[in-house]
Chains A and B, each alone.
Chain A
Amino acid sequence: MLDEHLKNTLIEIVGNENYQDSKTSLLTYSYDATPGFQSLPEAVISPRNTSEVSQIVKLCNQHRIPIVPRGSGTNLSAGTTPLHGGIVLLMKHFNSILEIDEENLTVRAQPGVITQTLIEAIEEKGLFYPPDPSSMKISQIGGNINENSGGLRGLKYGVTRDYVLGLEVVLPNGEIIKTGGKLAKDVAGYDLTRLFVGSEGTLGIITEALLKLIPKPETKQTILALYQNLEAAAKSVSAIIANHIIPATLEFLDQPTLKAVEDFAQIGLPTNVKAVLLIEQDGPEDIVKKDIEKITKICLANNAISVNSANTEEEKEALTAARRAALSALARLRPTTILEDATVPRSEIANMVNAIQEIAKKYDVTICTFGHAGDGNLHPTCLTDIRNQEEMSRVEKAFEEIFHKAIELGGTITGEHGVGAMKLPYLHLKVGEAGMDIMQNIKEAFDPNNIMNPGKMFPIERKRVVVEE
């Protein structure tokens, strides 16, 4: 519980109805979508505007109270669990799309706008905002920016980072800054916009975002390539890219994942094959047609047993929606589902798929694999039981080895889910000791009192904060 005086000051800022500290409220904001991480905050606060955010941050900075900004709590790296107590800052009142500028092709939105709502509003104008994390139906733009979310369309269109033109941010000292603008070119000083994207709430609170839009592709075609061999599917991925075709989506699902997804979606996915590639191409009709023909040939040449195409819009939508449900569908199989997102250069996909299988065998754990194979971003998902400590330790060892293997292949420990608390022990593998130092120095320059989402990205030595008067 926060000190009574502090609590009253916070209530004065946001109003009674926007300050929650009942046990029920604290418990329901103690977790996100990451298994094994849970910790109670001391209060849950929902500011109504940027000025209130600034006042709250100033107060917290003065009293050294941790702040964890939170959207819908769907992140997969424990980024929004309040591991050191403090305040969970909900952005639910920041839910307006402020402007769609069709002359500059930008959208200005508040961070609490649901990703899907934003996408729909934009597509109504014939425009396109490509980042589509699987949780897009409920995830918020602010969360997407803080986690630099990817999605199914990352291969051709990039990730959230590639669409953020400018931000309004409340810094840990309470100052409000604006970065970037409606500009195609802008080299005035350091690129702070990019620094904030993917900063996991450790540098400040994003209160507004200016996002880039592109014209909506005219047509779309979706195919499923079926394989009786995982490696053949993985090799097809590299072959497609090597043939200079960049599909909008190039997803990989292995048999256990297919079965679990079909169990949920019941759309007639093939469950008798070892792997499938879900491939989508968009653009002008003739180019799409040509690309899909080429891709089909490449898949068949790489031992696909058949290639089927979706005929209607509903079928296409059903396939991608089913893929988005993959992780949660796998949760049907065992009590605990632990997902990673090790990423390798696209040419190494087949090697990585093989390595994951070997590692799973070595540690005797069940790992299903699906993911955005086209951009080298795999989601090896371990099905286990958090109550079985012996098994959990084998799971941990298996993942550690997967991370090492990814790095060895020139990859990274996380492609799109972020470091958070979950991958914090492995960050040094990717960035090295000097890299860790410079990152920590940056963090200190922004947030010398370490109030912004402490315990994420870097280990924290100090104990739980005690309120100072």
Chain B
Amino acid sequence: MTSTLKKDRIAENFREKMDYDELLNCMRCGFCLPSCPTYIESGMDESQSPRGRIALMKAVVDGEIEPDDDVKRSLDLCLGCRACEPVCPSGVNYGHLLEQARDIIYQNKKKSVGEKVVRGVVFKQLFPHQDRMINAASLLGFYQRSGLQKVARYSGIMNFFPDTLRTMEKVLPTVPKRRSMKNRAEYMPAIGIQKKKVAFFSGCLMDTVFMKTNDATIKLLQYAGCEIVIPKTQNCCGALHGHSGEREKAKEMAKRNIEAFENIGADYIISNAGGCGAFLVDYNYLLKDDPVWSERALQFSKKIKDISSILVDLRFHKKEMKLENQIVTYQDSCHLKNGQKTFMEPRVLLESLQGIKYVEMKDAGRCCGSAGIYNIVESEMSMQILDYKMKQTKNTNAKTIVTANPGCLLQMQLGIEREGLTGKMQAVHIVDLLLEAYENANKTN
């Protein structure tokens, strides 16, 4: 239970820090309701809708209700998928409001010693430092390769973990060896005629657990005619922090990234993770009140582009790409679609592949329930959302589900595992599929 004193402090912070004009910008028309996964899955509960959540935030500011546990619960259960934003005719920046509200609640939350330690390690010690991310990932790699994983699975020790985590453990990709994670080149030339100079945002998780996908991204950029710079001093984008009520830490990380990229002279900064990209695009908002950094942040944000978007710009879909005959479907990354407004490009690329039949699933733009660590902390709702998603993917008869963000990729793999479809259906990151198709078609020439 939240104490009265604490509630008073939260309410005061709401009055001081929430953007009241933005709250008023919601005119409560309800056009967002049908787009909200939690509204739908909760059986149309208004307190689980964007309009309801904004009304709650405003009511706390206006002193109409206290920020009690139910208010916190309503905000916690939001996926942060931002599907409500593109359908909002008034243009309410819901994502910003959610971040502000969560930040206030978490800064005031009394955390247990355990939670403090975990949050400290994750947010301050681990993610901001890529070398430590590599160490952590190596540990996971050691677990997978050493035989420990097998021991863990057969010994039954995994049964002590919640269902979602247990299945998640099964679908995690095999982590690359420590050496390869440490020795990434800083510069890669274009293959063929150079058309653009780009910088690559390699990401923290993407450059460890999903390193193969990063390699594929770089390869594709080279084939597309890009000279690539990968600054060593970059770090995690800070999205995890920003979405979990650690805004100050997120700002710190944003500044480091801006510094790392600003003097390269790149035309674009390329990201291959929808979640990171949307946060990078938003640096100018994150740092808007910082006189020293706001302009630099704006210049940085303007250059952010998703891999699928630059590939279409460079007409990569006109190149020959071929796969074995199969049905392919695409699951939008919420933040790529709603944050970066990139949703046509992946489809254009997929439809250009020879041999495949692209079938759009119903509600492809609806969140898969991954949402950062949502599938672990809110696994019941997440699995309910995932079940709906799997029903739609199965209706397409697809063999391959294509995603554009590591979280979505893992979640879809989780869905395949839960449905017992492992071996019959696969989930892949779009760049891995594109590279395979490109090299497949071009290996003989």
Q: Which residues of A contact B (CB under 8 A)?
A: 22-25, 27-35, 72-74, 90, 92, 114, 135, 137-138, 261, 263-264, 325-329, 331-332, 335-337, 386
Contacts and interface: CB of A to CB of B under 8 A. Distances in A.
A27 B89 contact: no
Contacts of B30: 33, 72-74, 135, 138
B27 A135 contact: no
Nearest to B341: A266
A328 B47 contact: no
Interface in B25-39: 25-31, 33-34
Interface in B44-98: 44, 46-47, 49, 52, 55-56, 59, 64-66, 68, 70-71, 73-74, 88-91
Contact of A328 (B29, B46, B49): B29
A23 B24 CA distance: 21
B43 interface: yes
Contact of B91 (A135, A327, A332, A386): A332
B31 A137 contact: yes
Given A23-B65, A325-B31, A337-B27, 4 more contacts: A25-B46, A28-B47, A35-B27, A328-B27
A95 B29 CA distance: 21
A33 B25 contact: no
Nearest to A70: B46
B90 A329 contact: yes
A74 B88 CA distance: 14
Given A138-B33, A336-B24, A325 B89 contact: yes
A264 B66 CA distance: 34
Given A23-B70, A24-B47, A328-B89, A32 B33 contact: no
B16 interface: no
A54 B273 CA distance: 54
Contacts of B31: 135, 137-138, 325, 328
Contacts of A24: 47, 56, 65, 68, 70-71, 73-74
Interface residues of B, number: 32
24 contacts: A23-B68, A23-B70, A24-B65, A24-B68, A24-B70, A28-B49, A28-B56, A29-B46, A30-B55, A31-B55, A32-B28, A34-B28, A73-B46, A92-B44, A135-B29, A325-B89, A327-B89, A328-B27, A328-B29, A328-B88, A328-B90, A331-B26, A331-B29, A332-B90
B115 interface: no
A329 B70 CA distance: 31
Interface in B1-42: 21, 24-31, 33-34
A72 B90 CA distance: 19
A87 to B, nearest CB: 15
B65 A331 contact: no
B297 to A, nearest CB: 24
B27 to A, nearest CB: 4
B24 A335 contact: yes
Contact of B27 (A27, A29, A263, A331): A331
Contacts of B27: 33, 35, 327-328, 331, 336-337
Among A263, A264, A336, find the residue whose CB has the most chain B CB atoms closer than 10 A: A264
Closest 6 CB pairs of A and B: A328-B89, A331-B90, A24-B70, A325-B89, A331-B27, A28-B52
Contacts of A28: 46-47, 49, 52, 55-56
A25 B21 CA distance: 24
A72 to B, nearest CB: 6
Given A27-B64, A33-B29, A331 B89 contact: yes
Given A33-B28, A325-B89, A335 B21 contact: yes
Chain A, interface SS category: loop
In this complex, which of A72, A92, A138 has the most chain B Cβ atoms within 10 angstroms of its Cβ?
A138
Nearest to B24: A335
Nearest to B88: A328
A275 B235 CA distance: 51
Interface string B187-213: 000000000000000000000000000
B393 to A, nearest CB: 22
Contacts of A263: 91
Given A328-B90, A331-B89, A386 B24 contact: yes
A346 to B, nearest CB: 27
A281 B30 CA distance: 29
Nearest to A336: B24
A32 to B, nearest CB: 7
A416 to B, nearest CB: 15
Nearest to A328: B89
Given A27-B65, A32-B28, A92-B44, A22 B89 contact: no
Contact of B47 (A25, A326, A337): A25
A116 B91 CA distance: 23
A92 B43 contact: yes
Interface in B128-170: none
Contacts of B66: 23
A27 B55 contact: yes
A445 to B, nearest CB: 34
Given A74-B29, A138-B30, A336-B24, A27 B88 contact: no
Contacts of A74: 29-30
B110 to A, nearest CB: 21
Nearest to B21: A335
Contact of B89 (A25, A72, A114, A329): A329
A3 to B, nearest CB: 22
A264 B64 CA distance: 32
Contacts of A327: 27, 29, 89
A336 B58 CA distance: 14
Contacts of A35: 27-28
B415 to A, nearest CB: 26
Nearest to B68: A23
B304 to A, nearest CB: 20
A33 B33 CA distance: 12
Contacts of A72: 30, 33, 44
A120 B59 CA distance: 37
A28 B34 CA distance: 16
Contacts of A32: 28
B198 to A, nearest CB: 27
A326 B46 CA distance: 23
Contacts of A325: 31, 89
Given A24-B74, A28-B46, A73-B46, A264 B89 contact: yes
